[in-house]
Structure 1
Amino acid sequence: MKTYPKSLYLLASTLFLMSSCELTEVTNPYVTEDRFVSSFQSLQTWLNGVRRQASVTVGTVVEFTELVSDNYFNNYTQSSKVFDTPEINYFDQDVANIQASIHKLMEMSTFGLTKLIPLQTEDSSQEKAELLFYQAYAQLLAADLYVGLPTEALGEVKSPDVLLQSAIALLTEAASLYTAEEEQEACTILLARCHHRLGNLEEAVRYAQLGIANPLSLKQVQYGTENGPSNNFQSAIFSATTNSFAPLPRLDFLDPKYFHQTATVFEDEKPIAIAKAEEAYLILAEAYAAQQNLAASKQVLKALLNNSVNKRTKIMLDDSKETRNGGNRKDYPLQAVAVKFDEQGAVKDGLVLDRSKGNIQAHPVSGTHVTGKDIDALATEDETLYLIYLLRQEIFLAEGRRMTDLGIRFPVSQREQLSNTHVTEEHTQAIIPSFVPANRGMDDFTYDTTSGIVTMTYDMNKILIENKSSSHILPFHH
């Protein structure tokens, strides 16, 4: 499992990374595990490194999973060239790097919990809670994104269900230790997510109901701080001269989610949400729909819009330099045109923006084009589920969540397979459900310049609902 096989290497690499140095091997004989563990403020120093690793891990996950999904297309030559297909191989270096980043967060959290917490002479319950939270979050990422992963060096490959159960135990303990309400709320929302993924409807409802007590609850990882790291996804969609990632045209109005407004880009790196109240609303609405209680589901969806999404920060942004200038596709619309979600879909306005005319409205936390009237018009379970998954796509855009909703999973990496005898051939096979279009179909569209209409080739939310009984998606329906 370990890219960094010794805790000494993890320790030294974290310390040096926090000093903005790139370490490729341990050369300092004075930075030993024993010296560090017994040093002044070792726990706080380590915890800073764990926070930094959490940001690195989330950034890595967001970059690559957004490409795998129908959210973004790699319109330039950087990043993965095949994830858009989607083509996912266990020998792909990106698969290994994502796994290594998740594992490093696991290992660093474990080191803090097992090596540093027991040595503290003063109350360290809040530090322990935070380490438990990040350990749980790493296992939740592993469960959501992989066919399975070990949680210790050369250990057995644990299934997503086992990883989720472990995350539940860790989050429950963390929540019992935290004294800050916002941290307790984050635990509650992630507990709702775990039970949703497991298909535990009653438990998911219980935690989701608790999760909407604060409609603006928000937990984020930070970027651009004194010790880094940078939000690479912000660079890909906004800051770089060539914005290499282009959104699916019907999601154009939500891009960019991350952007800078100061002259010094590094000082204006936007955070990425890892837990927010909107998810609790959406889980609750999905649970009610699964119970055929459409009235309750619609009521929750209206509360989602009124109490949460519509009250999130909105910023007017000058995005006039955006020309979708990557080059792999040169037909992205650059003016306000209508869109159809697929060939049979209705024509909709307002989803593609003309950025050259001045400021656009940006949504750094959550946004959607869905309205109360759309919710009122829902008449069936499938219509309601469709709107829920459309809302999930729009609200979680650029947060690395869509690939999981599509039922796609990474395989265990070849790097792991070569050293860990517990990895079987089955573990090295990605899961790409048969209903997922091949040949970049999820990102495909046509642009009729005469009619001024952009038409998506596939409406993936429609496809998800048509296949809702699949074991890979919609956990409450199988």
Structure 2
Amino acid sequence: MRHLMHGAIVATALFSTACDQFSPTEVRNPNVTNSAFLRTPDASRLWVKGVERTFLQTLNTLLVNTEIVSDNYFNNYTTQSKVFDQPRIDNQDLDVRSMFTDIARLRESATYGIEVVLPADTVARVRNEADLLFYRAMGSIFVGEYFTGMPATALGPIVDAAGHLRLAIDDLKRARTLYTDAALRNACTAALARAYYRLGDRANATTEATALLAASPQFLRNATFDGVTGPSNSFQGLITSATNNYQPLPRLDFLDPKYPNRGAQVQSPLALLKAEEAHAILAEAALATSDLTTARTRLKGLLTLVQQRPTELVDSRNQNRGRSGGIVIYPDSTDYRVAFAPGAPFQTGFVLYRKGATVRVPTVSGTSVTAERIDQIDSVADGYYVLYLMRQEIFLAEGRRSTDIGLRFPVPFAEAQVNTNLDMSAPYMTAVVPAFLPTNLGMDSFIMNTTARTVEIRNDVNAILVANRTSPLIMPFKN
């Protein structure tokens, strides 16, 4: 007789590749059989719990890799990838494989719950179905945002990023009709806006964004971690560790650590979906039609929301950024002034004093942009610059920046070895690294003068994005 791990165990099961080898019905557990588990009262609720755990583990894997591949953070110690900062992305890289595998596991676990566990459950299960659809949709969004493609079924052909976004949209629409709780329906609306945005579907993205802001102007859907039974927030450990692990680009220093260390058993939540994205989508839609008046209004609405989000006093002395120990010494005092690019003016307020008892940091969203700066927007190009600076700052440590700058991870070599539908020479086997992005650590590099107390960032990536905004790899809304 076949044996089955229930959801909580499937969530932590290890397998060598992704959807090519993962089949929940093939997981062996001597204590639980398929038939016994499926006869368990409210089995689908138990399965949902396992999928939730898988979802958190997937988020952990994605965040620790996507944040360093962008210009947000630099891996300043020995933890995690030492090549993504370049950025160098290869289909044989084990971190690429881990990301791919975790997303595939999430989608397959949710699918098995929908197709096998739910039909066998005799208990009312509408909410469970909606939850599984939502988590599968988020897995599809992750493919659409991070990868060139992924099979939608085990050993199946590659479905490209756009195809996975459309799969997510189908699941989210269905989940939204099933949910009765307003907050859960709003989460579907927020995720739909995000998926349509990445597809470049301006009409539907703006419709969903407008609906979200009308229904819940301060909407926030957190991913909540557990310091006792796990999973814990892996990124929290990387940015609060005393070993000088992940360091933010100095002009982002004032936003870090977004996930404070409150003790081993208290894990910071992660904003999965939030109303800020709706404002950003509407601002970008206005810029795409050269409507500067509307864009400025939308950006001010975004700023107002950010200013209403919570901040927290954090003891950051443990991670003394000015000391030796890491590869690069970082500024750690407010008297450092920062220039966003060579020749740009030096500005204050971007570096926090880390030797004092506490620093105040935003824990949901923060930005350096002011209402006065938004009023100064006098061109579409400048509007895009302000918007993408705000997007970078507001979504810091949420795994969104790598997608905004056009990076995409390849299908891993291990998948192609076992899936006969894959062509090893196909474009999806190669990472997408836009030619306009700085390489050789250029996105993370800066010159620090300890005497003059200045920091000059080597490259202003947001300015580079604006200069290349016609590229199909970035800024989805095209005229």
TM-score normalized by the length of structure 1: 0.93
Letter in 2 for 1:15: I
Shift of residue 39, structure 1, vs aligned partner: 1.4
What do residues 74-96 of structure 1 show as CA deviations (whole Å, max 9, x unaligned)?
A: 00011001000000000000000
Match of 2:352 in 1: 353
Which residue pairs with 2:68 in the alignment? 67
| 1:439-478 correspondence runs (5 A) | 439-477=440-478
How big is each residue's C-alpha offset from its partner over 1:400-458, in whole Å with a ceiling of 9 and x where there is no partner? 00000010000001110101122222221000000011101000000122321101100
Q: Report the CA distance between 1:226 and its aligned residue.
A: 4.6
Query: Letter of the aligned partner of 2:35 in structure 1?
Result: D
Task: Confirm whether residue 221 of structure 1 aligns to residue 231 of structure 2.
Answer: no
CA deviations 1:146-180 (Å, max 9, x no partner) are 01111111111101111111111111111111111
CA distance in 2, matches of 1:26, 1:117: 19
The question of whether the paired residues in 2 share the 8 Å contact of 1:139 and 1:166 is answered with: yes
**Partner secondary structure for residue 439 of structure 1:** coil
Q: Match of 1:286?
A: 284
Question: Where does residue 311 of structure 2 map in the other structure?
Answer: 314
Q: Contact 1:235–1:243 at 8 Å: present in 2 too?
A: no
Unaligned runs of 5+ in 1: 1-6
In 2, Cα distance between equivalents of 1:209 and 1:23 = 42
Deviations 1:321-374 (A, max 9, x none): 221357343331121211011013222110001121231112111111111111
For 1:292 and 1:427, the matched residues in 2 are separated by: 34
8 Å contact from structure 1 (residues 62, 233) kept in 2: yes
1:202 aligns with 203
Q: Which residue of 1 aligns with 2:58?
A: 57
Alpha-carbon separation, structure 2, partners of 1:120 and 1:39: 8
Deviation of 1:260 (Å): 2.0
Letter in 1 for 2:262: Q
SS of the aligned residue for 2:239 comes to helix
Tell me how far 1:198 sits from its aligned partner.
1.2
Q: Which amino acid aligns with 2:293?
A: A
Match of 2:413 in 1: 414
* Residue 400 (structure 1) aligned with residue 394 (structure 2): no
Q: What TM-score comes out, normalization by structure 2 length?
A: 0.93
> Which segment drifts farther, 182-191 or 397-406?
182-191
Q: Give secondary structure in 2 for the equivalent of 1:90.
A: coil
- Whether the aligned pair in 2 keeps the contact of 1:90 and 1:412 (CA below 8 Å) is yes
**What's the CA shift string for 1:363-386, capped at 9, x where partnerless?**
111111111111111111110111
Structure 2 residue identity aligned to 1:127: N
Q: Cα–Cα, structure 1 residues 17 and 105, in superposed 2: closer, same or farther, change >3 Å?
A: closer
Look up the match of 2:21. Answer: none
Displacement after TM superposition at 1:461 (Å): 0.4
In angstroms, what is the RMSD of aligned CA positions?
Answer: 1.9
Tell whether 2:224 aligns with 1:253: no
Does the C-alpha gap of structure 1 residues 183 and 13 become closer, same or farther in structure 2, counting only changes over 3 Å?
A: closer
More deviation, 441-450/317-326: 317-326
Distance 1:66 1:221 in 2: 17
Fraction of identical pairs, as percent? 39
Aligned equivalents of 2:244, 2:210: Cα separation in 1:
39
Alignment of 1:142-157 (within 5 A): 142-157=143-158
Bigger CA drift: 438-447 or 413-422? 413-422
SS in 2 for 1:356: coil
CA distance in 1, matches of 2:403, 2:97: 18
Determine if contact 2:259/2:363 at 8 Å carries over to the other structure: yes
The answer for the alignment partner of 2:332 in structure 1 is 334
Verify: 1:14 aligned to 2:11, yes or no.
Answer: no
Deviations 1:77-127 (A, max 9, x none): 110010000000000000000001001110111011111211233431111
* Matching residue of 1:4: none
